[in-house]
C-alpha cells in the first residue's frame, strides 16, 4: 500500500554498548547486549527496508545478508559513522545504542599502573549524538530510546520529555530490562502511548508497524 511500506527505505539503526577510554588498555562501558536493536534491524529488513546497522562491541554480533553492518567500539567512532550515514538518503534513524553518558576528562596515555590501592577518575558529560541527528538530516524520522531501572506509563512520559524537547525525536521507546523481564512503551510527541510490549520481539514488531504507518 502506498505510504504504508518500508520497501527500499533506508533505515539507520544503532545498537550495543559504546566504549570510552580510561587509558590505552582500559575502557568504561555498559551492559547493553544490542539485542533489541538487532531484532529491529532484522524486522525492518524483512519488511523490505535497506538497513544499515551500526553495531557496538556486542558479545553476539548480528550476521544477516540483508543488513549492512558497520562496527564501532568507541564513542567517537559511533559519532563519525552516524554523521557519515546521515549525509546519505536516510528515512528513519533508530538510535537504540547505549551511548556512554560520561567520559574521562583526560584519558591517560599508556597504562595506569595496576598496583595502586585507590584511583580517582574525573568524568565529564559526553556530547549527545542524538541531538545532532535532526540538524544533520531534518527529514529523517527519529526514534530515541530511554532505558530505566523501572518504567511505568506515567514515568515514561516524564523520562522521555528531554528526548522530545531537546533531540526532536518523533518517537521514543521507554523501556526497562530487569530480572523479571522486559517491558516498554512507544510514545509520540504528544505523550500518546502508541504501543506497549512485554518482550523485545513485541517491541520490535510494534515499532515496525508504527514506522510503516508513518512513512
Q: Which domain holds residue 49?
A: 10-109+117-214
Of 73, 66, 88, 82, whose CA–CA distance to 19 is shortest?
Answer: 73
In a domain, 130, yes or no: yes
Q: Does a structural domain hold residue 1? A: no
- From CA 196, how far away is CA 147, in angstroms rounded? 15
Nearest alpha carbon to residue 49 among 185, 199, 204, 175:
204
| pLDDT tens-place string over residues 132-166 | 999 999 999 999 999 998 889 899 999 999 999 99
Q: What is the CATH classification number for the domain harbouring 151?
A: 3.40.50.10300
Q: What pTM did the predictor assign?
A: 0.94
Q: What is the pLDDT of residue 3?
A: 53
Identify the pLDDT of residue 5. Answer: 86
For residue 188, give the C-alpha cell.
509520540
Task: Please state, in angstroms and rounded to a whole number, the distance separating the CA atoms of residues 137 and 90.
Answer: 8
CA distance 108 to 67: 37
In a domain, 5, yes or no: no
Amino acid at each position: 500500500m502506498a505510504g504504508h511500506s518500508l520497501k527500499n527505505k533506508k533505515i539507520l539503526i544503532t545498537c550495543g554498548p559504546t566504549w570510552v577510554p580510561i587509558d590505552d588498555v582500559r575502557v568504561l562501558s555498559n551492559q547493553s547486549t544490542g539485542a533489541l536493536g538487532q531484532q529491529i534491524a532484522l524486522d525492518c529488513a524483512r519488511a523490505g527496508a535497506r538497513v544499515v546497522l551500526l553495531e557496538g562491541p556486542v558479545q553476539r554480533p548480528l550476521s544477516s545478508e540483508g543488513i549492512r553492518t558497520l562496527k564501532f567500539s568507541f564513542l567517537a567512532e559511533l559519532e563519525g559513522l552516524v554523521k557519515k550515514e546521515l549525509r546519505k538518503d536516510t528515512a528513519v534513524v533508530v538510535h537504540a545504542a547505549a551511548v556512554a553518558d560520561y567520559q574521562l576528562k583526560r584519558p591517560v596515555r599508556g597504562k595506569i599502573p595496576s598496583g595502586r590501592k585507590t584511583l580517582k577518575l574525573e568524568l565529564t558529560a559526553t556530547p549527545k549524538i542524538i541531538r545532532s541527528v535532526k540538524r544533520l538530516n531534518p527529514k529523517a524520522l527519529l526514534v530515541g530510546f530511554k532505558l530505566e531501572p523501572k518504567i511505568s506509563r506515567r514515568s515514561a512520559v516524564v523520562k522521555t520529555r528531554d528526548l522530545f524537547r531537546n533531540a526532536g525525536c518523533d518517537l521514543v521507546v521507554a523501556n526497562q530490562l530487569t530480572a523479571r523481564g522486559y517491558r516498554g512503551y512507544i510514545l509520540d510527541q504528544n505523550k500518546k502511548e502508541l504501543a506497549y510490549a512485554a518482550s523485545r520481539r513485541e517491541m520490535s514488531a510494534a515499532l515496525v508497524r508504527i514506522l510503516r504507518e508513518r512513512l
